Chain A
Amino acid sequence: MFRILIARLIDTIPTLLLVSLVVFILLELSPGDPALKVLASSGGDVVVDDRDLAALRHDLGLDQPPWERYALWMNEVIRLDLGESFVNKKPVGALVLQKLPASLILAAVTLFASVAIAVPLGVVTALRANSTLDGTVRIVTLVGASFPSFWIALACMWLFAVQLHLLPALGGFTVRGIVLPALVLTIRTSALLVRVTRAAVLESLHADFIIVARAKGLSPFRVVWRHILPNAAIPILTVVGLDFAGLVAHAAVIEWIFAWPGIGRMGIEAALAGDTPALLGFVLVTSVIVLFVNLVVDVAYGLADPRIRTAVAK
Chain B
Amino acid sequence: MTTTSRTSRRRFLRSAAILGCASLVPGFLAGCAAGGESSPTSTASVATPAGSAASQARRGPSKGELRTATSGLPTTLDSDDGTSHFSLLSHGIGETLMRFRADTTAEPWIASKLERVDPLTWRVTLRDDVTFWDGSKCDAEAVRASFERTLSKVAGTDSLIPQGSVLTSGGMTLTIKTPTPSALMPKSLATVELQVKKVIGSDILYTGPFRPTSHTAKELLVAEAYQGYRGGPANIKTLNVRYIPDTEARILALQAGDLDVAESLFPAHLDRLKSGGYTTISGPQARQHMMILNVRRPPFDEVAVRQAVSLAIDRNTLATVLGGPTTPSYSLGPEAMKIPGLFPTQKYDFAEAGRVLDAAGWKAGASGSREKAGKRLEFQITTYPGRAELEQFAVVIVDQMKKLGVGVTIDKVSDITSVINNSTFTASMYSLGQGAFTDISRMLVYLYTPSGTNKDRYNNPQVNDLLATYLANADNAQAIEALKGIQNILAQEVPVVHLVTPSMLHGVAKNVRDLAFAPLEYYRYGTEVSLA
Contacts and interface: CB of A to CB of B under 8 A. Distances in A.
A162 B413 CA distance: 38
B258 A169 contact: yes
Contacts of B81: 89
Interface in A139-182: 154, 157-158, 161-162, 165, 168-170
A65 interface: no
B417 A36 contact: yes
A169 B252 contact: yes
B86 A269 contact: no
Contact of A47 (B252, B414, B442): B442
Interface residues of B, number: 55
A254 B253 CA distance: 15
B216 interface: yes
A215 to B, nearest CB: 57
Interface in B401-449: 413-415, 417-418, 433-437, 442, 445
A43 interface: yes
Contacts of B217: 88, 90
Nearest to B216: A261
Interface stretch (A5-13, A14-22, A50-58, A130-138): A50-58
B248 to A, nearest CB: 6
A208 interface: no
Interface string B191-217: 111000000000000000000000011
B452 A45 contact: no
Contact of B72 (A43, A47, A168): A43
A67 B515 CA distance: 52
A257 B249 CA distance: 6
Of the candidates B86, B87, B253, B433, the one having the most CB atoms from chain A within 10 angstroms of its own CB is: B253
A42 B86 contact: yes
Contacts of B252: 154, 157-158, 161-162, 169
Nearest to A168: B258
Interface string A253-267: 000111101000100
Contacts of A42: 82-83, 85-86
Contacts of B339: none
Contacts of B244: 170, 259
Interface stretch (B6-14, B141-149, B490-498): B6-14
A44 interface: yes
Contacts of A49: 7, 10-11, 14, 156, 452
B271 to A, nearest CB: 16
A98 B256 CA distance: 28
A98 B3 CA distance: 43
Nearest to A47: B159
Interface in A161-206: 161-162, 165, 168-170
Interface in A13-42: 30-33, 36, 38-42
Contact of A46 (B11, B155, B249, B413): B155
Nearest to B255: A162
A38 B258 CA distance: 32
A94 B155 CA distance: 26
B157 to A, nearest CB: 6
Contact of A170 (B6, B75, B82, B258): B258
Given A161-B258, A170-B242, A87 B249 contact: no
Nearest to A42: B83
B76 interface: yes
Interface string B152-185: 0011110110000000000000000000000000
Of the candidates A40, A44, A49, A56, the one having the most CB atoms from chain B within 10 angstroms of its own CB is: A44
Contact of B415 (A31, A53, A169): A31
Nearest to A157: B252
B341 interface: no
B246 A44 contact: no
A154 B156 contact: no
B154 A46 contact: yes
A257 B155 contact: no
Contacts of A51: 7
B83 A46 contact: no
Interface in A87-139: 87-90, 98
Contact of A50 (B3, B76, B192, B219): B3
Nearest to B520: A45
Interface in A254-311: 256-259, 261, 265, 269
Contacts of B14: 47, 49
Interface in A224-264: 256-259, 261
Nearest to A55: B155
The main secondary structure of chain A at its interface with chain B is: loop
B524 interface: no
Contact of A39 (B82, B191, B193, B218): B82
Contacts of A52: 155-156
A174 to B, nearest CB: 12
B245 interface: yes
Nearest to A160: B256
A48 interface: yes
A50 B10 CA distance: 10
A2 to B, nearest CB: 42
Interface string B69-94: 10010011000011101110000000
A163 B417 CA distance: 43
A46 to B, nearest CB: 4
Contacts of B418: 31-33
Contacts of B218: 88, 269
A169 B159 contact: no
B61 interface: no
Given A33-B417, A47-B442, A261-B219, A89 B75 contact: yes
B368 interface: no
Contacts of B435: 45, 47
Contacts of A258: 249
Interface string B215-237: 01111000000000000000000
Contacts of B445: 47
Contacts of A154: 248-249, 252
Contacts of B11: 49
Given A31-B415, A32-B418, A44-B85, A256 B245 contact: yes
A283 to B, nearest CB: 19
Nearest to B217: A88
A230 to B, nearest CB: 43
A83 to B, nearest CB: 16
B243 A259 contact: yes
Nearest to B76: A89
Nearest to B245: A256
A298 B436 CA distance: 59
Contacts of B257: 165
Nearest to B86: A43
A261 B246 CA distance: 13
B193 A44 contact: yes
A233 B76 CA distance: 48
Given A42-B82, A50-B7, A258-B249, 13 more contacts: A31-B415, A31-B418, A44-B436, A45-B192, A46-B191, A47-B14, A47-B159, A47-B445, A50-B3, A161-B258, A168-B256, A168-B258, A169-B256
A-B pairs with lowest CB-CB distance, top 7 = A46-B156, A45-B435, A161-B256, A43-B86, A52-B155, A32-B415, A169-B256
17 contacts: A40-B417, A43-B85, A45-B436, A45-B437, A46-B436, A49-B10, A50-B3, A90-B217, A98-B216, A157-B253, A161-B256, A161-B258, A162-B255, A168-B253, A257-B248, A259-B246, A259-B249
